[in-house]
Structure 1
Amino acid sequence: MNLPSFIWLWKIAAWSMGFSLLAYLLLAMTGTWMFQARQTRHRRPRWLRSGHYIIGGIMVALVLLLLGIGLVGTLGYYGTLNHSAHFGAGLTVVGLVLISAWSATQISPGRPWARTVHISANAVLFIAFAWVTWTGWIVVQKYLP
């Protein structure tokens, strides 16, 4: 396969991961703000919900970019997948992000389960992000001189 330099893939992946973690933090902050406003019956800023959705969409795109880089990089280097725990960690993060995004679109007064699924997926995502970060660091160490 004629692939781009793997160092460029790693740089794109590193920036994407950093921005994914930043998006996760911003989503936690805005989600907490929306939750508190809801519990205390205070008005929330008009931009808060749409901002939360936009940041969530960006995080979905970044995580899918990371999935693509991981697949291309691993297949290009090894010719096959699943050479470390990072593969499982990455798929777990992708799955949780997609569950979170899907459940966010289902949240409504008639579907109280959707908010529970959304918040639960994001709580587990915290652990999954830590796992994928740790396993990714181990993978990167294999390739650095």
Structure 2
Amino acid sequence: MTFNLPDDVKYWLQFGHPLLMWVLFGLTLYAMYLGLQVRRTRSAEGEDKKALIQGQFNQKHHKIGSLLLAMMVLGNIGGMAVTYLNNEKLFVGPHLLAGLAMTGLIALSASLTPFMQKGQDWARNGHILANVAIVGLFGWQAFTGVEIVQKILTN
């Protein structure tokens, strides 16, 4: 199945996924900061706790996490779609496999939210572990993605 898009459109579509992913990488780091502040709030006492509660880190973390979940899944699907449109195949390699792993991990991380809200420490630890893995994979993905963009630009 081929799609007859103009060559200019096909060319410029290739840059939407990398740009979105760099923005999401920054948001992921911000979500991690917010998550650390939520954890700090939970363990703080007295005036420190009151001051941290004013930051509403829990709500901000939840909102950014929801945005990340939606945009990462859609961004990964979009990246695969554009690759398929331009090449009529997907390139199965480390970049694609790590991206798919990140998509699964972010879904797993989000699915632990109801258990965390009920105070389950195993869910918090699983959430943290999944998100640390996402940050690590995301950092690596960013640089392998730059290599792919450089190949596109040289062709």
Contact 2:95 2:144 in 1 (8 A): yes
Higher relative contact order by CA 8 Å / sep ≥ 6: 1 or 2?
Answer: 2
Superposition deviation, residue 45 in structure 1: 2.4
Unaligned 5+ runs, structure 1: none
Per the alignment, in what secondary structure is the counterpart of residue 140 of structure 2?
Answer: helix
- Whole-angstrom CA distance in 2 between matches of 1:75 and 1:61: 21
- Could you tell me which residue of structure 2 aligns to residue 120 of structure 1? 129
Q: 1:15 matched to which residue of 2?
A: 19
Q: Tell me how far 1:20 sits from its aligned partner.
A: 0.6
- Give the structure-1-normalised TM-score: 0.87
* Contact 1:9 1:69 (C-alpha < 8 Å) held by counterparts: no
Displacement after TM superposition at 1:48 (Å): 2.2
* Bigger shift: residues 68-77 or 103-112: 103-112
- What is the DSSP-based 3-state SS (H/G/I as helix, E as strand, rest coil) of the residue aligned with 1:144? helix
2:115 corresponds to 1:106: yes
Matches within 5 A, 1:40-119: 40-41=44-45, 42-43=49-50, 44-45=53-54, 47-119=56-128
Distance 1:59 1:3, change over 3 A: farther
Moved over 4 A (4+): none
- Name 1:142's counterpart in structure 2: 151
CA distance in 1, matches of 2:114, 2:4: 39
Runs (5+) with no aligned partner, structure 2: none
Q: Is the 8 A contact 2:17 2:76 kept in 1?
A: no
Q: Distance in 2 between matches of 1:81 and 1:24?
A: 26
The offset of 1:49, in angstroms, is 1.5
Using the aligned pairs only, state the percent identity.
28
Q: Select between 9-18 and 95-104 the one with higher mean Cα deviation.
A: 9-18
User: Which sits farther off after the overlay, 27-36 or 82-91?
Assistant: 82-91
The separation in 1 between residues aligned to 2:55 and 2:136, in whole angstroms, is: 31
The alpha carbon displacement at 1:135 in A equals 1.8
The alignment covers a number of residue pairs equal to 145
Contact kept, 8 Å, 1:60 with 1:98, in 2: the verdict is yes
In 1: Cα distance, 2:100 partner to 2:142 partner:
13
Question: SS of 2:60's equivalent?
Answer: helix
Contact 1:27 1:56 survives alignment (8 Å): yes
Q: Aligned-pair distance for 1:63? A: 0.8
- Structure of higher CA gyration radius: 2
For residues 16-65 of structure 1, give each alpha carbon's deviation from its aligned partner in whole angstroms, at most 9, with x where no partner exists.
Answer: 11221121121111111111111123131273222111111111122122
